[in-house]
Structure 1
């Protein structure tokens, strides 16, 4: 059930016909980290250099969620999308 909802959420975000989400950097990192945890599991290796600011921020956000199961990460991803776009599940007319 949660996997289907997660896939629907991914499709909603990818669909250019939908209005863009008004997200801040923290929310973008949340989406990234939850997606990576859902699809790849826990991060492997060490964090990128502090000089690689973006890559390091993404890795650290993902690392902060490494204890979530695949299903928990999927559910949190759906919850975040629902918070930012409450009507995303409603069918288009």
Structure 2
């Protein structure tokens, strides 16, 4: 069974630099109305963050997107261990 991860996006802290969308356009797109990044097909949490569960095969591209974020608003969590990886 492959590992599962959660991406959590603190959209309120996004500055719209486009790095995530350029690196991983299958999951990240820039919102035309406000210029901020949207995590595609994510659910909105009560905190205002958005969250999406991904498989191990999608981990590497999303980790690269998270590492490229200059304001560190993209977080990846290993569901099995609960460890926040970034």
**TM-score normalised by structure 2 residue count:** 0.30
Q: Higher Cα Rg: structure 1 or 2? A: 1
**TM-score normalised by structure 1 residue count:** 0.29
Higher strand share: 2
Higher helix share: 1
